[in-house]
Structure 1
């Protein structure tokens, strides 16, 4: 092939693809010259390539059909429960299809994300609301173009509101998942999150009685503080240390590991964070010593134990022992 062959244009139709495949076969470095492709082989290749292209087209058509279901007004003679199931099925199929990033972009172009945001997130049925939040999360993951579109539409504010106040636990959990997909590793999303007082939403999430919401709120807090330690002062000014320690005084839960991790983020190379933790009113020193004794020997709690030991060292090392001779 000539040196300038790298400038060849890629074919834009099946005939061009077929021609390129035939030429590639003829230019093979095999020791023996390859035989010309048979008509049967050409037919098979043509059909196979057509099926690939058809599959992508079919997925776009499926998305259009799902959007038609979501856009329908009223029951049109159907039972309300049946209509709800159809909308839920449509949203689930869209989420599945949009795991493919090309489909997520196509859905945005088709107006599907705008419909999801403006209509489905406000649907009276919780099953529709949480599936809409799930769809937004599926489309926003690792897709800056989609993230920016959703942020410009004000989706983050709506999702934070659902995380904070929706009466359905699953909606709150899925909405927080979508929030995470819009703010992690996304500077514009993080700025919007800060302007909307997102850290307060996470604080209240950790204080809720929904186990998954507590865990995911704490996990996102740790992730954001680890990636953006410059925002620790904002969090400390909110009284986050006091709130986190209060959570730790509740009956033990696996999500305490993330709470302790967040505290570690707040005290690492941070004088104010250490000072807040040392407040006698919090009783953190006693609590950490108690937890350390309870967690020793439990393999499944090893990371939580390490967080306790890090906090004791960062905040209380060198302090005099209690009257009973033990560091509290």
Structure 2
């Protein structure tokens, strides 16, 4: 049966790609790939036997049944064992020099990232010693490894109180803040914001640590870089924090965020403007001190918003921004 032979070849190739993962009764499927792959294998295995005009269902013969069972086995793996192998690879990541090839380490990070957005697997990752590779990643001489370390922390802690607590207890938040403050690679900065966000949003302990480690000062400095992607990430994060931590609005006024935010809005339009305007609306909502601040003539805030609104008027893609402008103009009277 030519179709079966081809299917068996593809299944064997897939088994190699799974890097020798073992099989047992507690395995967990990698669902998106396995379902598509299994369907493809089944179709390849039986296509030569399909009758062009027949819809009659026939019992599955033993050879076909055996093939499908084997294909299913190759599509399932022991996730913990896979994670342990990747952790073993990353144990030496601290020895990586600036000019060394990081390919194996990056592959290991990517493989781990495929699984740890699942809360149960993230918790298992900690139990099998995964935390030991995080700090060497953050401190690596290679910027891609540093960014990968940030992403690992983000995926581990997103909507996961258990991992959030563990990561905070192991003092990773100050390191993430330091990366945002001092790292020259924009991708590392963006990933560090991602990780910080996953640790502090809807998490009072994380938020308090952010304040204690001067995170708001670092955020303000990062906004001044005028890097568009950083502005988007930070404006979104600050808006979310203001909604869950109402006293943050007063802190941001005191730390003189308004001059920076207004200056950024006055720059040439980019994708960050929608998020900046949204943040300004959030900051001024039910906040008389903030409204009084932006009314100060030194900012020319009303003129800036009026001019900006004129530049986006009747542009369908700018409807949200126009709405924010109208709210701000109404608030300042």
**TM category, shorter:** 0.7 to 0.9
Moved more, 269-278 or 239-248: 239-248
Name 2:292's counterpart in structure 1: 275
Does the C-alpha gap of structure 1 residues 251 and 92 become closer, same or farther in structure 2, counting only changes over 3 Å?
A: same
Q: Larger RCO: Structure 1 or Structure 2 (Cα < 8 Å, ≥ 6 residues apart)? A: 2
- Alignment partners' CA distance in 1, 2:200 and 2:132: 19
Q: Deviations over 1:173-224 (max 9, x none)?
A: 0111000000111111111111122222222222224321111011111111
Shift of 1:112: 1.1
In the alignment, is the contact (CA less than 8 A) between 1:139 and 1:146 conserved in 2? Answer: yes
Equivalent residue for 1:150, pick from 167, 177, 182: 167
Gaps of 5+ in 1: 1-12, 15-39, 318-328
Gaps of 5+ in 2: 1-23, 26-61
Q: Deviations over 1:265-297 (max 9, x none)?
A: 121111110110001000101111111211110
- Alignment partners' CA distance in 1, 2:322 and 2:196: 30
- Alignment partners' CA distance in 2, 1:224 and 1:74: 34
Matches within 5 A, 1:200-239: 200-239=217-256
Name the count of aligned residue pairs.
269
Matched, 1:175 2:192: yes
Shift of 1:264: 1.2
Name 1:110's counterpart in structure 2: 128
Runs of 4+ aligned residues of structure 1 deviating over 3 Å after TM superposition are 73-76, 79-82
Name 2:81's counterpart in structure 1: 61
- Alignment partners' CA distance in 1, 2:280 and 2:143: 34
Name 1:96's counterpart in structure 2: 114
CA RMSD of aligned residues (A): 2.6
Does the C-alpha gap of structure 1 residues 278 and 168 become closer, same or farther in structure 2, counting only changes over 3 Å?
A: same
In the alignment, is the contact (CA less than 8 A) between 1:202 and 1:221 conserved in 2? Answer: no
In the alignment, is the contact (CA less than 8 A) between 1:199 and 1:221 conserved in 2? Answer: no
Shift of 1:105: 0.8
Matches within 5 A, 1:158-307: 158-307=175-324
In the alignment, is the contact (CA less than 8 A) between 2:116 and 2:155 conserved in 1? Answer: yes
Does the C-alpha gap of structure 1 residues 271 and 67 become closer, same or farther in structure 2, counting only changes over 3 Å?
A: same
Q: Secondary structure at the match of 1:214?
A: helix
- Alignment partners' CA distance in 1, 2:117 and 2:287: 40
Q: Deviations over 1:104-127 (max 9, x none)?
A: 1111112212321x2110000011
User: Which TM-score applies when normalising by structure 2?
Assistant: 0.75
In the alignment, is the contact (CA less than 8 A) between 2:173 and 2:196 conserved in 1? Answer: yes
Does the C-alpha gap of structure 1 residues 75 and 147 become closer, same or farther in structure 2, counting only changes over 3 Å?
A: closer
Q: Who wins on radius of gyration, i.e. which is larger?
A: 1
Q: Secondary structure at the match of 2:114?
A: helix
Shift of 1:55: 4.2
Q: Deviations over 1:30-62 (max 9, x none)?
A: xxxxxxxxxx9xx99xx89x969x946x21111
Q: Secondary structure at the match of 1:202?
A: helix
